[in-house]
A = this chain, B = another copy of it.
Amino acid sequence: MSKANDATYAIGDLADEFGVTTRTLRFYEEKGFLRPERRGRVRYFSQADRVRLRLLLRGKRLGLSLEESAEIVDLYQTPEGSKRQLKVLLAKLAERREQLLEQARDLEATLDELGRVEQQCGDALARLETHSGTAR
């Protein structure tokens, strides 16, 4: 048996998997958002890097900047800190939650309006098809 779960990923493979370019991954490393291992000059991405990347991209899809995404991801690594640290962390978490909840409200409102327009639109279409026969 081999040494369990220490698979690494080449930069190209990871890029393909997540639908980003290699430039993106290098950029993320340059900015410190990812820290792939280096053998020589070549990068090797671990499972942890892969998870981090997934979370970063999820943050991006929510409209966060990379820095904000990274901050959230870092929150996940509770460093088992002191009492004060824990309280700071909890505060940050609450803040993030508030922000995300507001976003959820915005999202719901937008979906509502889309639904309304969709409804009107469907009605109008139905009227047209009823009145003027079944034009193809």
The interface of chain A, by Cβ under 8 A from chain B, is 58-59, 61-64, 72, 75-76, 78, 80, 83, 86-87, 89-90, 93-94, 96-97, 100-104, 106-107, 109-111, 113-115, 117-118, 120-122, 124-125, 128-129, 135
Contact A100-B93, Cβ < 8 Å, known A78-B121, A125-B86, A135-B83: no
A100 touching B109, Cβ below 8 Å: no
Expressed in whole angstroms, the minimum distance between the Cβ of A125 and any Cβ of chain B is 5
Contacts of A113 on B, CB cut-off 8 Å? Answer: 76
Known A-B contacts: A72-B110, A97-B118. Give 14 more (CB < 8 A).
A58-B109, A59-B110, A61-B102, A61-B103, A62-B63, A62-B107, A86-B124, A90-B121, A90-B122, A93-B121, A94-B118, A97-B111, A104-B104, A104-B111
**Copies per assembly:** 2
Secondary structure at the A interface, as helix, strand, loop or mixed, is: helix
Contact A58-B114, Cβ < 8 Å, known A78-B121, A78-B124: no
CA distance A128 to B72 in the complex (A): 24
- Sample of 17 A–B contacts (CB below 8 Å): A58-B106, A58-B110, A62-B106, A76-B113, A78-B121, A80-B124, A83-B128, A83-B135, A86-B121, A89-B117, A90-B121, A90-B125, A97-B111, A97-B115, A97-B118, A104-B104, A104-B107
